[in-house]
Amino acid sequence: MKGIFSALMCSFDERGNVNEKGLREIIRYNLDVCKVDGLYVNGSTGENFLISTEQKKQIFETVYDEVGGEVPLIAQIGSLNIDEAIDLGKFVTGMGYNAISAVTPFYYKFNFEEIKDYYDTILKEVDNQLIIYSIPALTGVHMNLDQFAELFNNSKVIGVKFTAPDFYLLERIRHTFPDKLIYSGFDEMLLSASVLNVDGAIGSTFNINGQRAKQIFDFVQKGQLQEALAIQKVTNDLISEVLENGLYQTIKQILQSKGVDAGVCRKPMKPLATEKLEVANTIGKRYLQ
């Protein structure tokens, strides 16, 4: 399960319902146009923390039905409600997902023993392999090398989605655990992470910019750093403009401009104002011909 994985977006209608037709179109755009190597389903980019358990299951089912065995699928099942996480983990495992992933428990200031117990409890109940989802800026959970080592002691924990700018820690994890899967989670730092020999990356902008991400990753593996740097520069120009205009809404509008029924974001996210819609369309034309 190496390479470039899109943190898959989901299409929602104006009432917040899953638009299955639009979701399938997003999937096909990722696979047929962006040429990504796999999909990370129901992560932050999929607006996972804004939807119900039944909607999560609907998305998991639709993605699996559309993809089958075409590419590997990772299901993000993490939740503050551990019973929901276990239920979702069993659900996707029975369906055939290649792995589960779970964000570190957040909001409450859990200590490390509680975090470790969260993962161990999920994996006692779910017969699948797990990728930790570490995103300290949003969860407030900062783990050190020794703590990652404790989590990795569970043989069913096969890797980490590392969404942090601490590249010293990233290098130490890579050096210490050569057999674990490490995915970079910051699209704008893909080149730097690739130099540290990560196994791949999982990112939001890969829904539209997956081809460039694959080129950066492949060039680094071939030792062609100047070529990778040139593509990362264009990628970061794109990312800067997308972030300034509104991340998820802008990506969805760019997909709309490509003929993909990407829908709208769920509340409390607001739709783009008219002028921002025009900016999104301009970004799409400028960077994604």
Map out the domains of the chain with their CATH numbers.
3-224 (3.20.20.70)
Non-local (6+) Cβ contacts of 156 within 8 A are 123, 128, 129, 130
Determine if residue 44 is labeled as part of a ligand binding site.
yes
Whole-prediction pTM value? Answer: 0.97
141 pLDDT tier (thresholds 50, 70, 90): very high
> Is the Cβ–Cβ distance between 64 and 96 less than 8 Å?
yes
Residue among 64, 97, 118, 133 flagged as catalytic = 133
* 187 is an annotated ligand-binding site residue: yes
Let me know if 161 is a catalytic residue: yes
Annotated binding residue 188? yes
DSSP per-residue string spanning 167-199: HHHHHHHHHH-TTSEEEE--GGGHHHHHHTT-S
Pairing verdict, β 99-103 and 200-203: unpaired
Query: Which position has the token pair 């993490």?
Result: 78
- How many CA atoms lie less than 13 Å away from 200 in the CB half-sphere? 23
The per-residue pLDDT for 240 is 98
Confidence of residue 187 (pLDDT cuts 50, 70, 90): very high
For range 215-221, the mean pLDDT? 98
* 79 marked as part of a ligand binding site: no
Question: Model confidence over 165-182: pLDDT tens digits?
Answer: 999 999 999 999 999 999
Catalytic-role residue among 97, 119, 161, 183: 161
Identify whether 133 is a catalytic site residue. yes
pLDDT in tens, 26-64: 999 999 999 999 999 999 999 999 999 999 999 999 999
Is pLDDT at 289 greater than 90 in this prediction? no
